[in-house]
Chains A and B, each alone.
Chain A
Amino acid sequence: MPAVKETIEDVKQLESDKYKYGFTTEIEQEFAPKGLNEDTVRFISAKKNEPEWMLEWRLDAFRRWQQMEEPNWAKVGYPPIDYQDAYYYAAPKNAAKYKSLDEVPKELLETYEKLGIPLREAEVLLGVEGAAETAAAARETPKVAVDAVFDSVSVATTFKKELEKAGVIFMSISEALQEHPELIRKYLGSVVPVSDNFFATLNAAVFSDGSFVYVPKGVRCPMELSTYFRMNAQGTGQFERTLIIADEGAYVSYLEGCTAPMRDENQLHAAVVELVAMDDAEIKYSTVQNWWPGDADGKGGVYNFVTKRADCRGRNSKVSWTQVETGSAITWKYPSCILRGDGSQGEFYSIAVSNGRQQADTGTKMIHLGKNTRSRIIAKGIAAGRSDQTYRGLVSIHAKADGARNFTQCDSLLIGDQCGAHTVPYIEAKNPRATLEHEATTSKLSDDQLFYARQRGLDEEAAVALLVNGFCRDVLQELPMEFAVEAQKLLAVSLEGSVG
């Protein structure tokens, strides 16, 4: 691949002068003092030059958080988190970890290659010096706008102009606070209230940055919006905050892809994502999550405690969550839809893969408030190694939700005999004119299937990958093209060594 590398170098030379967004690699890391108190919150707010009301909002959240207890109902186990033993704000200093691709460990590059991630993107994700600027500037070909979040501050925003032409606002939430404070003030916390839950409240107090999207009335966003989240300062908790609003008749598809380099220390990640869909609007939110899951003994790895919620506020609005979760040591995540508008629709398509000693407690909530609301849940869980996985879901039909309909399908696939899969579906129906369907299966990857595929010429890993991809097909089909191929490969890589 030397030719490709050369091209990258060339592009770097050409593009480095043109880079407009002011990020230089000389910026030094700025940490908030270690620990969490009101001063930390004030520090973050001041760093970001936030308006007074924002600081008050954060302080209110912090005070409430102090009164709250960490939830313990999820089927996951981890040592107590010392919230005082972490930094809550880190602006990127020199983000580069490697001077060039030659310095990157071979295994890491191989993983990227297996995933089919282009070298240029791999450079960015691995933190090769200067790569972010090049990648950001050179992303002309694929119609994907990337808002790269390095640690806590957005450093690169592309396609801004074209989006502006369409009237779409796509920027970091700190920028949005400066440029569109009225929108933030109106919508922030309107889906996930300040004191919604322990982790969401913590996020409200100390969130560092994230993405903001506003698609105005009747606008179909001209491209997929994409964000790469990445953590790269040791011991830095990540508190992303994402807010997406699709106004009447608008459409937007948002891709969130994540990867983190190896870490020996547990990293807390408590993100909040809020989606608002007005009348006839549609939001498609897709995630591929591949954070450091810890080593084979369960040491290290990311704690992914995330609150994601959509408010289908308008009539006939629609929100679809699609996720492929293969990373993190512990996942605690329930992307949900509040189906408030009459005729609104919520969808949840999920693939969760756990291997090694990973623990995942994940699912969705569909809250049917409006008439003729519909929801569809397809969850595929694949547990391998000594991992443990729980699907936890709620379908709630409220009294006024005449004609509400839900279909739920939860399938679990076990690989090996030391893993666990559990299904905990809650169903509440307060309206007699609602229709609910629930299907669940648990199966083991069968030796017969493996032998059959191998007899036809596939090696063991290819056979497992094929069988697992087949198992997940319903969900993979829902992913945008950009993600589908990568996701299929990710499944294969995540399950390497899980058999035999």
Chain B
Amino acid sequence: MLKITDLRARLDAEDDAAIEILKGVNLDIPAGEVHAIMGPNGCGKSTLSYVAAGHDGYEVTGGSIAFEGEDITEAEPEERAAKGLFLSFQYPVEIPGVPTLTFLKEAANAQRKARGEGPISAPEFMKLARENAAKLGISNDMLKRPVNVGFSGGEKKRMEIFQAMMLAPKLLILDETDSGLDIDALRIVADGVNAMRAPDRSMLVITHYQRLLQYLKPDVVHVMSAGRIVESGGPELAEQLEAEGYDKYATEAA
């Protein structure tokens, strides 16, 4: 599904001295698998998610990103979205004046148009919205409100998962979705994500802590440090990290 090869990227700054953040990342997520990336703050986890989604604040200086066998390294963010890449943001953005459902319908139809499909009908869309909202305990009132405006941190994360459900991506990247969630909210969000697991859908879960992974049960856990994947293993690696911390990797990288 997603194959990242020797990816190097830096902040897209005016001066050439911009620091390289990704220093040769290799990652291969087959269809249907859930991979987790763990690592200390500043190791480049979030940058990886932004670069994968096509954020123009970063410049790819080497390597490639392939999605379903197609090179998307230079693709626009909306092209990646239409192909089925969804990023659940660490800090979801507020869009005043635009109701959530309006936003999602526009987005869904833009994606469909890019894929050569006809627009979704309003009743069909509304039915889907009600079903998905119920799964996440999202009220009707919340759907009518402008995108993320006035929502608590937990509500925003829940809405991200709702958006993912509505847009039904092939690859779901969760960037620190667990941060700012209390235990109950964490369970609701995790249940929502688990409900989306499917043989043709992959996930990349970026997190600092193990607790979300207890619910999501990833197939593979990667450790990232100083811009590289430094170790990969099974779910037990997450537990080991929780117990031992990241010190080992930090010194190795240095």
Contacts and interface: CB of A to CB of B under 8 A. Distances in A.
B110 A459 contact: yes
Contacts of A471: 96-97
Given A467-B95, A471-B96, A472-B97, A458 B106 contact: yes
Contact of A454 (B57, B76, B98, B103): B76
Contacts of B163: 456
- 3 interchain residue pairs of minimum CB distance: A470-B97, A473-B97, A470-B98
Given A452-B92, A456-B103, A470-B98, 13 more contacts: A449-B93, A451-B93, A453-B107, A454-B76, A454-B77, A455-B53, A455-B86, A455-B89, A458-B110, A459-B110, A470-B96, A471-B96, A471-B97
A54 interface: no
B95 A449 contact: yes
A451 B57 CA distance: 10
B98 A466 contact: yes
22 contacts: A446-B93, A449-B95, A451-B77, A454-B76, A454-B78, A454-B81, A455-B78, A455-B89, A456-B81, A456-B104, A457-B81, A457-B114, A457-B167, A460-B78, A462-B110, A466-B106, A467-B95, A470-B98, A470-B146, A471-B97, A472-B97, A473-B98
A462 B103 CA distance: 11
Interface in A422-460: 446-449, 451-460
Interface of B: 53-57, 76-78, 80-82, 86-87, 89, 92-98, 103-104, 106-108, 110-111, 114, 146, 163, 167
Contacts of B111: 456-457
B106 A462 contact: yes
A415 to B, nearest CB: 15
Given A462-B110, A466-B106, A470-B146, A455 B87 contact: yes
A253 interface: no
A469 interface: yes
Nearest to A471: B97
Nearest to B85: A455
Given A447-B57, A448-B93, A455 B98 contact: no
Interface in A73-109: none
A453 B77 CA distance: 9
A467 B107 CA distance: 13
Q: Which of A451, A457, A469 has the most CB of B within 10 A?
A: A457
Contacts of A473: 96-98
A459 B77 CA distance: 8
Of the candidates B53, B93, B146, the one having the most CB atoms from chain A within 10 angstroms of its own CB is: B93
A457 B55 contact: no
A449 B82 CA distance: 18
Interface of A: 446-449, 451-460, 462, 466-467, 469-474
B97 A459 contact: no
Nearest to A458: B110
Nearest to A451: B55
Contact of A457 (B78, B89, B95, B146): B78
Contacts of B103: 453, 456, 466
Contact of A467 (B77, B87, B98, B167): B98
A474 B96 CA distance: 11
A452 B103 CA distance: 11
A17 to B, nearest CB: 42
Contacts of A470: 95-98, 146
A455 B114 CA distance: 13
Contacts of B146: 470
Contacts of A458: 78, 106-107, 110
B145 to A, nearest CB: 12
Nearest to A446: B93
A462 B95 CA distance: 14
Contact of A452 (B89, B114, B167): B89
A457 B108 contact: yes
Contacts of B110: 456-459, 462
Contacts of A455: 53-54, 77-78, 80-81, 86-87, 89
Contacts of B78: 454-455, 457-460
Nearest to A474: B97
Contacts of A472: 97
A456 B107 contact: yes
Nearest to A454: B77
Contacts of B93: 446, 448-449, 451-452
B159 to A, nearest CB: 12
Contacts of B95: 449, 452-453, 466-467, 470
Chain B CB within 10 A, most for which of A447, A454, A455, A469: A455
Contacts of B87: 455
A465 to B, nearest CB: 9
Given A451-B77, A466-B106, A470-B146, A456 B97 contact: no
Nearest to A449: B93
Contacts of A460: 76, 78
B211 to A, nearest CB: 26
Nearest to B53: A455
B76 A456 contact: no
A458 B163 CA distance: 14
| Listed residue (A447, A459, A460) with the most chain B CB atoms within 10 angstroms of its CB | A459
Contacts of A462: 106, 110
